[in-house]
Amino acid sequence: MGRITDIHPVAEQKRGVPIAPVWHTVALLAVFAAVTFVGWVAQQRHQTRLPSPAPVHLMPLQIQTIIFEWTTVAWVCLGIRLKGAKLRDLVGGRWPNAKSVARDILIGAALWLLWTAISRAVIFFVGQNHAGGAIPYPASLLEGILAIAVAVSAGICEEIVFRGYFQRQFLALTRSAVAAVLLQAAIFGIPHVYEGVRLAAMAGLYGILFGVLAIWRRSLRPGIVAHAWSDVAARFFRI
């Protein structure tokens, strides 16, 4: 069997060839399960404490988040290399020209506008969700810079891990695009359950939209643009 990079990615997936060893995927799923459990425990402890007037220091959490995001990508790179693939195979290659850059930016912007409209519609009909709380505004220039770094890291890393790695792996294992999209979206949404069922459901829907986009465009680039900007807007403009 040839290398994955020698065959069109979609054609390779239809043959049922995983892009990484199954044990590698199970290990990553275990990590996300552990993170979900730790988040749930932390949330329970936070709810039992009395409100504190002390300011929230974002920097330690921001640094931890950036490290975690890129560590998961490093793990993904290790797994796909075991099957002869490279990171660009998940992303969908490089931009060939400026026209492609502009097109992906416009598609990403359209997806962000669609997601914003859906979010506003949910708030209008169901009400605001207060279970998880809003992300505090950066209190300093350094926290602001790190907030942007977190947003960009999330846009790049989470699209690679969920819409790139998990979705491609599930597509190969199930040979069903629908199953692949739904499974990666579930994994993307479940870690938010401790913040409220509605927030978890919205995260799952977010994963579905971005998963469909990745299959349609055969590229993660528009999703990365939309995801990164969505996180920046949420942190600075509450959009």
Residue 191 has pLDDT above 90, yes or no: no
CA-CA distance, 42 to 48, in Å (whole number)?
Answer: 10
Model confidence pLDDT, tens digit, residues 36-86: 888 888 777 766 664 555 556 789 999 999 999 999 999 999 999 999 999
pLDDT for res 14: 47
CA-CA distance, 238 to 84, in Å (whole number)?
Answer: 42
CA-CA distance, 98 to 85, in Å (whole number)?
Answer: 26
Residue type, 34: A
pLDDT for res 32: 94
239 vs 130, higher pLDDT: 239
pLDDT for res 49: 61
CA-CA distance, 229 to 17, in Å (whole number)?
Answer: 33
Rounded mean pLDDT, 1-12: 40
How many residues are present in the chain? 239
- pLDDT band per the 50, 70, 90 thresholds, residue 125: confident
pLDDT for res 51: 57
Task: Tell me the percentage of the chain whose pLDDT exceeds 70.
Answer: 86
8 Å CB contact between 192 and 34: no
Q: Hey, where are the domains in the chain? A: 4-236
Least confident range from 56-60, 130-134, 185-189: namely 130-134
CA-CA distance, 73 to 118, in Å (whole number)?
Answer: 29
8 Å CB contact between 107 and 217: yes
Residue type, 137: Y
DSSP 88: H
Rounded mean pLDDT, 197-204: 89
Residue 2 has pLDDT above 50, yes or no: no
User: For residue 212, how many other CB atoms are within 10 A of its CB?
Assistant: 17
pLDDT for res 196: 77
pLDDT for res 135: 72
Residue 94 has pLDDT above 90, yes or no: no
Residue 212 has pLDDT above 80, yes or no: yes
Rounded mean pLDDT, 199-204: 91
Model confidence pLDDT, tens digit, residues 18-29: 999 999 999 999
Name 119's Cβ contacts closer than 8 Å, sequence gap at least 6: 202
Q: CA 1: distance to chain centroid?
A: 31
CA-CA distance, 194 to 112, in Å (whole number)?
Answer: 25
Task: State the Cα angle at 90 between 181 and 82, rounded to 5°.
Answer: 110
Left (φ > 0), alpha (ψ -120 to 50) or beta: where does 132 sit? alpha
Rounded mean pLDDT, 215-239: 91
pTM score of the predicted model: 0.87
- pLDDT band per the 50, 70, 90 thresholds, residue 133: low
Residue 3 has pLDDT above 60, yes or no: no
Interaxial angle between packed helices 167-174 and 177-189, expressed in degrees from 0 to 180 and rounded to the nearest 10: 140
